[in-house]
Copies of this chain bind each other. A is one copy, B any other.
């Protein structure tokens, strides 16, 4: 390459795919889209650039440091870093034009200027669903979300998965009961570590927080509760914790569990997991995480929960909601790295028409008929190329059917169809093209 050329490259932390992988990625997007629409969510598409005063209204923390923020003219602009803040702005802005509960999905790119590292992206797709209520939102919506997750991951076909459900009220109620409300985060943090440090480790940490011994015993009992939903609910009740939040949380878990069953989510695909807290302070009730059971190391692939107030920075209206998000770029990257998915072909094209003549009239007419039959078709148009080169193109693309049209075929009003997968070859009369179209369609 001569010195005057700019080296073609993209920024670290940005994902870009070769055609076969892109087709695979788009198939996942399409499955998610259909699943979301099947549950009655409507699509949204908000701008990627918004005013900083809108996107950073909440302010503070990691968000502000990570965003792509810049000035254009007199405007202070930021690239969206999630799809939730734009949703809050959207619902406030178009409130009068929307029907509530407002069920929307959005699949789009978001931007976070994180330190790039393996599996971390600065530009990535989020696939969100949320149900937003006007003033209030029934608890039963919390059961719809796992049903939608179940349906989506079943359709994605990524193997076994488990939706883990908890309720933040149970955790905050527990902290209140223990009289450590001001230390709630530390207590929950310790509980969160039980798999790492064991119950003895948790005990020690709680002792450091000056929590009385008998209450520590209750916490340890609490962390031991797992298994069948009914058993979990019963054991939570058996703890006899007389705290309003705790009892409300348990009651909510019980109702949500009942309806998750009614919605047909199999027992093997969901459970109550009292260790799920979710990092964000944002959530106030039911919370969700989802793991691919055979690949727990990937971590949660679909998370979210119930929140009390979506849009407090833009409106006085109370807009509670519940929703989840799939971080698709990271998920795709992990699945590809682990070889759980891989591209089957370079293209969606089903037929390559390969003319061996100079006159392309017949090949073009055949291609048009196939395309009219909705069979993705390409014609090899480099007439100068030799047969080997032409044929190699079709083979390299992994196209299933190659239709050869030479002088002899034109003379006989016929075509030769090579099935590149079955390694067979058949001759069709041009009159019977519809037979071929049906055959390819039903393949």
Binding site for B on A (CB under 8 A): 1-2, 5-11, 14-19, 22-23, 25-26, 37-40, 42-51, 53-54, 57, 68, 70-73, 75, 77, 79, 89-90, 92-94, 97-99, 101, 103-104, 109, 111, 113, 122-123, 133, 136-138, 140-141, 143-144, 147, 151, 258-259, 262-264, 311, 313-316, 346-349, 352, 360-361, 364-365, 367-368, 371-372, 374-379, 381-384, 393, 396-397
Name which residue of chain B comes closest to A373, CB basis.
Answer: B38
Query: Which chain B residues border A7 with CB–CB below 8 Å?
Result: 314
Please name the residue on chain B nearest to A55 by beta carbon: B6
Please name all residues of chain B whose beta carbon is closer than 8 Å to the beta carbon of A39 when the two chains form the complex.
Answer: 371, 376-378
9 contacts between A and B (CB under 8 A): A8-B89, A10-B50, A16-B47, A19-B98, A38-B371, A49-B111, A137-B382, A138-B381, A138-B384
Q: Which of B72, B79, B97, B393 contacts A99 (CB 8 A)?
A: B393
Query: Assuming the A-B contacts A11-B75, A382-B101, are A140 and B6 also in contact, with contact meaning beta carbons closer than 8 angstroms in the complex?
Result: no
Query: Are A314 and B383 also in contact (CB < 8 A) when A49-B68, A262-B361, A364-B259 are?
Result: no
Q: Give 19 A-B pairs besides A19-B43, A147-B368 with Cβ atoms closer than 8 angstroms.
A: A1-B316, A10-B51, A16-B90, A17-B44, A18-B98, A19-B44, A22-B45, A25-B45, A37-B348, A38-B374, A39-B378, A40-B349, A49-B111, A99-B396, A136-B384, A140-B379, A144-B381, A262-B360, A262-B368
Q: How far is the CB of A404 from chain B (nearest CB, A)?
A: 17
- State whether B104 touches A19 (Cβ < 8 A): yes
With A22-B45, A263-B367 in contact, do A381 and B8 touch (Cβ < 8 Å)? no
Task: Kindly state the separation between the CA atoms of A367 and B143 in the bound complex, as whole angstroms.
Answer: 13
Whether the pair A17, B40 counts as a contact (CB closer than 8 A) is no
Chain B residues with CB under 8 A of A377? 38-40
Complex Cα gap A90–B9 (Å): 8
How far, in angstroms, from A11 to B374 measured CA to CA in the complex?
40
CB nearest neighbor in B for A311? B8
- Compute how far the CA of A23 lies from the CA of B67 in the bound complex, rounded to whole angstroms: 30
Contact A48 B113 (CB under 8 A): no
Q: Are A123 and B19 in contact (CB under 8 A)?
A: no
CB within 8 Å for A40 and B92 given contacts A5-B316, A264-B368: no
* A6→B22 CA distance, assembly (Å): 39
CA distance A375 to B22 in the complex (A): 28
Q: How far is the CA of A367 from the CA of B260 in the complex (A)?
A: 12
Closest to A374 in B: B38
Are A2 and B264 CB-contacts (below 8 A) given A42-B19, A68-B70, A259-B364?
no
Complex: how many Å from CA A23 to CA B383? Answer: 43
Of all chain B residues, the one with the shortest Cβ separation from A362 is B262
Q: Which residues of B contact A46 (CB under 8 A)?
A: 10, 16
With a cutoff of 8 Å between Cβ atoms, the chain B residues found around residue A262 in the complex are 360-361, 364-365, 368
A54 close to B383 (CB less than 8 A): no
**Which residue of chain B is the closest to A51 with respect to CB atoms?**
B11
B259 touches A40 (CB 8 A): no
* A264 near B365: Cβ-Cβ < 8 Å: yes
* Contact status of A315 and B5, CB under 8 A, knowing A360-B140, A383-B140: yes
Task: Name the CB-closest residue of B to A122.
Answer: B49
Query: Would you give the shortest CB distance from A18 to chain B, in whole angstroms?
Result: 5
Cβ–Cβ contact A43 & B18, under 8 A:
no
Residues of the B chain whose Cβ atoms lie less than 8 Å from the Cβ of A25:
45
Given that A49-B68, A347-B42 are contacting pairs, would A315 and B361 also be in contact in the complex, using a CB cutoff of 8 Å?
A: no
Closest chain B residue to A131, Cβ basis: B381
Given A37-B348, A378-B40, A2:B316 Cβ within 8 A: yes
